[in-house]
Amino acid sequence: MESVLRAASALLGTTVSAPADLGGSARSTVLRCATGDGGSVIVKAYKEEPEALRCFTAEAAGLALGAGSGPRLLAVDTAFPLLVMEDLGTAPTLADVLLGDSADAARAALLAWAGAYGRLAAETIGREDELAALRSRHDRGNQRWEADPWPAEAVAGLPEALGVIAPDGLEAETASILRLPDYPVYSPGDICPDNNLLFGDRVRLLDFEGANYHSVFIDAVYTRMPFSSCWCVFRLPREVQAEVESAYRAEVAKGHPELLDDDVWREGMRLGMVAWTLDATSALVRRVLTEDRMLHRTRRPVPTIRQLLRYRWESLLPEVPDMPATAELMRRLLAATEKWDVPSMPSYPAFGG
């Protein structure tokens, strides 16, 4: 802790003290600290291990590229490694509002969230070389930034632990998710509800550890599933979901006008849902073979992992009528887990769940 404070003080040229631990992760320590001029800053220090260093480089570069969308980047110490950021203060997150009791507030927050990411994506189209240069500035020399292998890993990791046999033709069908329509957009990476602070109708984004360019549909499908990789998952009213998806699409299409083509959008969203559903299946099934678990260790209300998995499989079925092997896999997974006997996914509390 003392070394973190000394490094931050040297960077800013003023005393940094009175650290309050904001939680961080296995990769980092995040502190709210007082400064010598009476203000406060956020100090984020990363561990000296490959994944943490990769996250440090991505976040330093991502905050710089997406300036204004997240906290202002005040200083970087690549050798430590450490970031000093603007303290945005306290504000409710999108997760807080969705788990609250106001449908109007939740709808407004969702639309603000979708608009914020759509605008950021549109405004940063074509700046891949700039992000690469920012990475180089803060790269310790041991990161690799090749194309994200995630969709391939999602397919390769499909579990057999439930005794479900893959239908004939599945491999050929799921290969299509490796060809997600390109339309690259910049994203902070983890766009889940708890990484978004709400200030009236403005959203400030947190967590740029996964900042990168990838297919627009990896992010866009968060508006439909909803929140593809997150713990804060319940059902959205159909009309609200449609509004949120339209809000994101309208903004991002300002940079990629081709996304206004319904055929392009429909195919990309469908493949995005397949990719994220297979990813959840690969990542989560083995964790709940013997007993169910909550999706978050401390937050409540929250669904269980078994609830989430069955919800994902049920939701994908109507989206893949012309992918018979994928649809059959979903049916087999649902049949194999009927014994789980979990409730259907309720609506978000804000919408009466």
**pLDDT for residue 254:** 98
Note whether 251 and 315 are same-domain residues: yes
Of 86, 111, 141, which one is at a domain's C-terminal end? 86
Please give the average per-residue pLDDT across 208-223, as a whole number: 95
Note whether 216 and 161 are same-domain residues: yes
Q: Which domain holds residue 320?
A: 94-351
Note whether 63 and 110 are same-domain residues: no
- Angle between helix axes 262-284 and 324-336 (nearest 10 degrees) is 40
Note whether 255 and 278 are same-domain residues: yes
Note whether 114 and 187 are same-domain residues: yes
Beta strands in the chain (DSSP E): 16-21, 28-35, 40-46, 73-77, 82-86, 184-187, 196-199, 202-205, 212-215
Beta strands in 145-199 (DSSP E): 184-187, 196-199
Question: 84 with 12: CB under 8 angstroms?
Answer: yes
> What pLDDT, in 10s, does the model give residues 245-293?
999 999 999 999 999 999 999 999 999 999 999 999 989 999 999 999 9
In this prediction, residue 155 has a pLDDT band, given cuts at 50, 70 and 90, of: low
- CA separation for the pair 32, 18 (Å, rounded): 8
In this prediction, residue 171 has a pLDDT band, given cuts at 50, 70 and 90, of: confident
Residues in the chain: 353
Asked if pLDDT for residue 348 goes beyond 70, the answer is yes
Token readout for 21 is 């631990």
Asked if pLDDT for residue 146 goes beyond 60, the answer is no
In this prediction, residue 153 has a pLDDT band, given cuts at 50, 70 and 90, of: low
Q: For CA atoms 12, 31, 228, 346, give the dihedral sign.
A: negative
In this prediction, residue 175 has a pLDDT band, given cuts at 50, 70 and 90, of: confident
From 32-46, 109-123, 167-181, 265-279, the region with the lowest mean pLDDT? 167-181
Of 86, 104, 139, which one is at a domain's C-terminal end? 86
Please give the average per-residue pLDDT across 171-189, as a whole number: 84
**Domain CATH code at residue 19:** 3.30.200.20
**Domain CATH code at residue 329:** 3.90.1200
> What pLDDT, in 10s, does the model give residues 42-78?
999 999 998 899 999 999 999 999 999 999 999 999 9
Please give the average per-residue pLDDT across 323-337, as a whole number: 94
168-192 in b/e burial notation, b at 16+ Cβ within 10 A? eebeebbebbeebbebbbbbbbbbb
Note whether 153 and 267 are same-domain residues: yes
Q: Is 320 exposed, middle or buried (0-12, 13-18, 19+ CB in 10 A)?
A: buried
CA-to-CA dists, residue 146 to 59, 86, 150, 201, angstroms: 17, 30, 11, 36
**pLDDT for residue 182:** 81
**pLDDT for residue 239:** 98
Query: For residue 76, what are the β-bridge partners?
Result: 83
Three-state secondary-structure class, residue 131: helix
Note whether 49 and 138 are same-domain residues: no
Please give the average per-residue pLDDT across 326-346, as a whole number: 95
Asked if pLDDT for residue 106 goes beyond 70, the answer is yes
Could you tell me which of 66, 30, 55, 26 has the C-alpha nearest to residue 209? 55
Which residues are CB-contacts of 82 (< 8 A; sequence separation ≥ 6)?
A: 4, 7, 8, 11, 43, 44, 45, 46, 76
Number of domains in the chain: 2
Residue whose entry in the numeric block shows the structure tokens 């939740």: 106
Note whether 151 and 43 are same-domain residues: no
Note whether 36 and 118 are same-domain residues: no
- What share of the chain in percent tops pLDDT 90? 83
Note whether 101 and 81 are same-domain residues: no
Note whether 280 and 232 are same-domain residues: yes
Token readout for 143 is 């990161």
Backbone angles phi, psi at 35, to 5 degrees: -115, 160
Please give the average per-residue pLDDT across 290-309, as a whole number: 96
- Angle between helix axes 238-252 and 103-123 (nearest 10 degrees) is 20
Asked if pLDDT for residue 181 goes beyond 70, the answer is no
Residue 250: CB atoms within 10 Å: 16
**pLDDT for residue 173:** 86
**pLDDT for residue 1:** 84
Please give the average per-residue pLDDT across 16-45, as a whole number: 93
In this prediction, residue 170 has a pLDDT band, given cuts at 50, 70 and 90, of: confident
Note whether 10 and 48 are same-domain residues: yes
In this prediction, residue 151 has a pLDDT band, given cuts at 50, 70 and 90, of: low
Could you tell me which of 217, 21, 190 has the C-alpha nearest to residue 93? 190
**pLDDT for residue 166:** 83
In this prediction, residue 154 has a pLDDT band, given cuts at 50, 70 and 90, of: low
